[in-house]
Structure 1
Amino acid sequence: MIKKGGIEAMRTKTQTIQLNDDQLPILPSEPNAYLTFNIQNGSNELELMGNRTGLLLLAKAAFGMAETIREDGFHIHLDDLYGINADGKSILIRREEASKP
């Protein structure tokens, strides 16, 4: 937040996600990206950790998947495509409209 005259103002950033002809997000190669996660035993908490590049890549992938119009089960394996997970954990992003019980 930026403080102006005693009032805190939020900064706004804009990200552009390009879609290819198949309406899938185009994610540029990010060689320095790092992203991983932890799930605590007996917990419902997912902790995502990464450097700035890895977290931006995750955000772009998630936003791109949210905007895609495909309904054929397409998904993104960030760890396979971008080699961002040195811990050997799989990070998969998929759009699913129906909520599960």
Structure 2
Amino acid sequence: MDARTGKRCHDVLNPLHSLVYFAPEAEAELVAAGLAEGRMGYFASRSAPMGAVGAATVRATFYNFAPALIGRHIPAAWDLATPATVTAARLRGVDRALRRA
């Protein structure tokens, strides 16, 4: 794939990808699943497909975040909701947001 095609794909798909991080419906579903508002939902919902991983795995995967920030939310999130519960909440939130849009 040439760079132009890749850029066009990114431009079309990125709003769908980014929706989950900014839609109030996604945050509401994550909070309803038992997570704290804010960054906990972000880190838990992104890392949930990997299972109940620890902060070190999330730090290595999401390399651009401060380690202490991740450590405040992971693994504490897994005491509040399972990865499967978090993933289901994330999908419900995206579904609600897309239906609103």
How would you bin the TM-score normalised by the shorter chain? Answer: under 0.3
TM-score by length of 2: 0.26
Higher Cα radius of gyration = 1
Q: Which has the higher contact order (CA 8 A, sep 6+)?
A: 2
State the TM-score, normalizing by the size of structure 1: 0.26
Higher strand share: 1
Structure having the higher helix fraction is: 2
